[in-house]
Amino acid sequence: MDKSGAKRGALLKATLFFMVWLLLLGLAYWYFLIKPQQWFDATQQQPPLLADSARQQALREQLRQHFPQLQDGRAWFVRFKQSGCQCERFVELYHQSFSARADPARMQVISVDLAQDTFTPEQLSFITEVIPATPSVALFNPQGAVNYFGPYHQEGICNAENSYLEPVLQALAQGQDLSILNTLVFGCFCSTR
């Protein structure tokens, strides 16, 4: 084979390699970033089911039964997750840093894995009715009302700059009374239903 044929063969191999690489990159982008994109609450129920104080109290009671360490008189930060959900990786580091800096005298932090925790079928049915998707968080005040419910953030890796929780936590620290039910968000979520 002459030099020009060898060059053409090498160029063909390089082009083929580049095309396969580009295809795999596109598939990975679709699988990890585009595929899980959905509305946090696909039904877009307004007001959300957790707007009802009776449902808030029912959720608190089920959480207290499952996590007896939860006590009244302190805020509860409850992370809802599903271990098989690809979107969990976007909030994991933020959740870990938040948990580490949360004052345990004022706030209890727990994680509820809907895919692995042992809820009764009735409990799981109720929880998945009021929690439409994960990753999500419910922040209960010391009196038992929801201060915030919804996703951690909308897009990308969650951090203190793009988290929906940071402004809520700052407002609560300043003594404001809030009830934010943030369910009309489009992003990387896994449906619980």
The neighbour count for residue 115, using CB atoms within 10 Å, is 13
Q: What is the pLDDT of residue 180?
A: 92
AA identity, residue 127:
I
**How confident is the model over 50-87, as pLDDT tens digits?**
999 999 999 999 999 999 999 988 999 999 999 889 88
DSSP annotation of 188: E
The beta strands (E) that lie in the chain are given as 37-39, 75-81, 107-113, 133-134, 136-140, 146-150, 180-181, 186-188, 190-191
**How confident is the model over 22-33, as pLDDT tens digits?**
777 766 665 555
| Integer Cα distance of 18 and 4 in angstroms | 21
Handedness of CA 152, 155, 156, 161 (dihedral sign): negative
Question: Is 34 or 43 the better-scoring residue by pLDDT?
Answer: 43
DSSP SS3 for 28? helix
pTM: 0.79
Handedness of CA 175, 178, 184, 190 (dihedral sign): positive
- Residue whose structure tokens are 């998707």: 133
CA–chain centroid gap for 37, Å, is 12
The angle formed by the CA atoms of residues 34, 188 and 144, to the nearest 5 degrees, is 170
Phi–psi pair at 161, nearest 5 degrees: -80, -30
